[in-house]
Chain A
Amino acid sequence: MIEKKRALEKIPTGIEGFDDLTSGGLPRGRTTLLVGGPGCGKTVLALQTLVNGAREGTAGIFVAFEENVDHVIANGGRFGWKISELQKRHLYFLNAQLSPDVVKAGAFDLTGLLLGLEAKAREMGAKLIVFDALDVLLSLLDDRAAERREIYRIQEWLARTGLTGIVTTKVEENEPPIAPRFGFMQFMADCVVQLRQRVDDRVAVREIRVVKYRGSPHVLNEVPFVIDKAGIEIGASNGIHPEPQLFNDRVSTGIARLDEMLNGGIYRGTNSLITGSAGTGKSTLSSLFLDAACQRGERALFVSFDENACDIVRDLASVGVQLAPHLKSGLLRMEARRTESAASEDHFIRIKQLIREHQPVCVALDPFSALVKVGGEQAARNAAERLIYFCRNERITVLFTSLLEGRDAGLETTPLHVSTLADTWIQISYSLCGGERNRALTIIKSRGSKHSNQMRELIFSDTGVTLTDPYTAGGEVLMGTLRIEKENTARAEHTRKLDEIDHKRRELEVIMAQRDLSLDAAQRDLCNRTEELDTLTLAEKTRTDERALRQDTAVRKRDRKLVREKGADTKPARRKPRARSNPKLP
C-alpha cells in the first residue's frame, strides 16, 4: 500500500516572530533542536512554546535535565505565565536530574524514562514534549557511541509516540553549530534553531537563526530577539509585507502653512521624516503633529529618546503647544526611552508593545536617530526599518525625526539611512545670512503629492509656530532681519497707500458736504421764488378779473345803452391764465 505523502504539519509556538520565521511553527510529530550557549534563552523558548500550547489546550511535558523544576516554574512565573494553573491539566514537569550521590556502575540507557514518559503522555493526552538540556544527561554517558545510541533512542521514541519534540542542548560559544558531538543530533532533528548572545558596542544582543528546517521554507538570516517581561519576542518578520490599504485622506502636520506646502497635509498611514541638526525644532514639529491629532480626537503616541516627557511638555508650552490636556484625557501617551539602557531591538519591541497597548493613530518618534547611539548601527537600522514597516502595516501615520550631526549635516543624510523609506521628508536647516541663524524648512520629497519647492522660514513664537511667506531678493530667500526689513518696507508701503486713499476720501466727503449745503440753499431759494411767483400770478389774476368786471359793467352799460339805442351782440373777451413752471430742479 502506498502511503499518501502528507504536507508537513506545523505546531505554532505562539511566539509571533518565531512562527513568522518558520512559516508556521515547529514540525508536528518531529524533533526540533534548540542549540546555544548558556543563558541564550533556550529554556525560555521551549517553555514558552509549551505554555502557549497549554493555554490553547495542547497538553505538554517538560523534562528538566539540568535545572530544578521549581526554578523553571518560578522563572516562567516572572514572565506572567500561570504555570501552576496549567499544571492541573495541561502541563507536566519532570525533575530529571541525577543526584550527585548516584554512583555509575556500567552502561545504562533511557528506556525506563521513555517508557514512563510515554505512559504519562498517553494519560494526559500530551502532544508536545521538551527535553531541556539533553547535553547534561548525555555527559553522563561519557561515550560517543552511547550518546549516539541514546539520541537515536529518543528520536525513535518520538517518532513512535508521534509527539512533537523540542530538545535543547548547550553549545559552547565558540563551538561551531555543527560540532562533531552534536552533528548527529542535528541530523536527527528536522528543525534546528540556534540561539546566540553577543555583546555589540557594550550592549547585549540576542540573535536567533533557523539553521535548518526539513521540508519547509524558513528565514535563514540571523535575526535579533529579546527576552522581556512577557518572554521571548522576535521582532523580525519573514520579510513578507502585505500591501496595506492606502488612505486617500490627509492628516495635518499641525502647521497650517506646512499643510499648504504639502498640498493639504501628509497622507494618512504614511511616514514622514524630519531631519535637522540640534535645536532646529524637530521635537516641536513632532508635538504639533500629535497635538493636531489629539485635537481631531485621535489617539497619539509620543516616544522620545533621551528626553523626559515632562520636559517636552514644558518646553512646548513655551511655543503655545499644550500637550498636558491631551495627556490628561488619555488620548496622548508619552514614553521616554533611554537609549543607553537597551539595545535597539529592545526599543523596537517596547514601542511595538506600546502601539499594541495604546492603539494610536498617529505616532511620533523623536529623535529616532538616537537608536544608533548604542548597540551597533546595523542592528539599529534593522530595528528602525522594521518599526517603520510595522507602523505601515498597522496603518499608523508616523513622524520620525533624525538628528543630523557634524559637518555632514548639510548632506541631508540620516544616520539610520531611513530617508529612502520615508514617504515625506522635511528638512529643517539653519540658514546663516546677515549675521543671523534662522530656521529654514524645505520639503525634500513627498510621495504621491504635489508639494512646494520653496524654502520657508520657520518661526517659533509665544503664540505658536508658523512658516513665513517667502520673500526673495536677488534670487535669495530672505530670512530673519532681512525678511523683517523687507516686511517692514512692504508694510510701510501698504500703510502709505491706505493713508493716501483715506485722505482722498476725506477730501471728497468735504466737497460732497459742501455741495449738499448749496443744494439745500438752492432748493430753499427755488421754493421762495415759486411762492413769489404764485403770489404774483394770483395778484395778476385778481387785477385782470377786476378789469374784466369793470369792462363788463361798462359794456353792459353801453349795451344797455345800445339796446336802448339800436341793439348790439358783441361778446366779452377772456384771457387764458399763465401755466406754472415746475418748481423742482433737474
Chain B
Amino acid sequence: MTTSVSATPAYRSPPGPLHAILLAGTVPLFLGGLLSDIAYYKSYQIQWNNFASWLIAGAELFAGLALLFALVNLIRAPRKSGRPMLYFVLLLLTWVLGLVNAFEHAKDAWATMPSALVLSVIVTVLACITAWVGLTTRQGGVQ
C-alpha cells in the first residue's frame, strides 16, 4: 500500500492570493464601467459618466498591479511559452486598451460617446478572458 501517486508537477505556479484578487477584481470594475457607460448612453445623466471614469481608473490600478505580478511570474517560470506568456500578453493588452479607454473617458460629456462605450465592451470581454486564463490552474495530468 505504499504506492504513491505522484502527480506531474503543475507546469506553472498559480497566482498567489493577492495576485488573484487583483486579477479577478478587474472584472467587476471594468464591468461596472461598462454598465455605467450604458446608463449614460441611455439617460444622458452625467453622473454615470463620472462613475465609469472612476471604475475604469480603479480597474487600471488593479490590472497594472496584477501585470507586475504576472511579469515576475513570467520571468520565474521555467517554461515561458504557452500559458504564462499567453496570460501575460492578454493582461498587457487589457491594461493598454483600458488606459486608452480611461483617456477616452476623460473627454467632456458626450465627446466620450460612442467610443468609450465600444472600448468598455471590448475591455470587459478581454478582462474576463484574461482572468479566466490567468486563474485556470491545471494540476497534474498529462501535458
Q: Do A and B bind each other?
A: no
Interface residues of A (CB under 8 A from B): none
